[in-house]
Structure 1
Amino acid sequence: MKVWLAKGYTETRKAVPDLTLMVQDASKRDPMCGHLLVFRCLEGRLIIVIWHDGQGACLFTKKLERGRSIWPSAVDSTVATTPAQFGYLLEGIVWRMLQKTSRPTSAG
């Protein structure tokens, strides 16, 4: 399963058919393939996720009470992220500032 983030912000009053049509027209991807389609509002406090399970579309929303989700910039209409980055977006964590820890050189 892939996570596709829509570029920029989206009008959050749009219904599921409008949002999936937006993805289909802009990115030429199949919105019913089982991947997560993620949208955000202008302020970055509301995230909308659409997932098609084979029988119908499921709509999930999350509103951050404090902070906002940091959206990656995209040159295309959508950008793919890892599940870990998606988790950070849902939690409002700035995932671009994370640093990897150094790998240990010895066991002792």
Structure 2
Amino acid sequence: MIPSGVKVFLASQPIDFRKGMDSLLALVRDSGSDPFNGSLYVFRAKRADRVRIVWWDGSGVCLYAKRLEKASFCWPRIGPARVHLNHAQLLALLDGLDWKRVRPMVVKAPEFVG
């Protein structure tokens, strides 16, 4: 289960999916981030039909993998940028939806009429 308050970072560059957990942690470290800070780091395969997520849950390193059978994941343009997602956007991404359309709702406090 993915914690709701965790930071999520999406790597826009595809990776070699033969890489294991330790290699993914090394990619996070080499990009200047701390792989043990509790954030989720999301990587994609070249065809964008597979993703892997690596994160430290406080007691060990977790690896999540998913493959879409008849579609591809919505992904930002390939480049050096790292994209930050919120929890709802991550869930949309993992369902194969366009996560860029998921926006936080603005809720205004009710006004009392008197």
TM-score by structure 2 length?
A: 0.77
Q: Aligned with 1:85: secondary structure?
A: helix
**Cα distance 1:24–1:96, how it changes in 2: closer, same or farther (>3 A)?**
same
Corresponding residue of 2:111? none
Corresponding residue of 2:90? 86
Query: Which consecutive residues of structure 1, in runs of 5 or more, have no partner in the other structure?
Result: 101-108
Q: Is the 8 A contact 2:13 2:80 kept in 1?
A: no
Q: Aligned with 2:43: secondary structure?
A: strand
1:74, CA displacement in angstroms?
A: 6.9
Corresponding residue of 2:11? 6
Corresponding residue of 2:47? 43
Partner residue of 2:30 out of 18, 25, 28:
25
**Cα distance 1:59–1:43, how it changes in 2: closer, same or farther (>3 A)?**
same
Distance across 2 between alignment mates of 1:64 and 1:18: 23
Moved over 3 A (4+): 73-77, 96-100
Distance across 2 between alignment mates of 1:41 and 1:50: 14
Compute the RMSD of aligned alpha carbons. Answer: 2.4
1:7, CA displacement in angstroms?
A: 2.0
Distance across 2 between alignment mates of 1:76 and 1:33: 21
Corresponding residue of 1:104? none
Paired residues, number: 101
**Cα distance 1:73–1:56, how it changes in 2: closer, same or farther (>3 A)?**
same
The answer to whether 1:65 aligns with 2:75 is: no
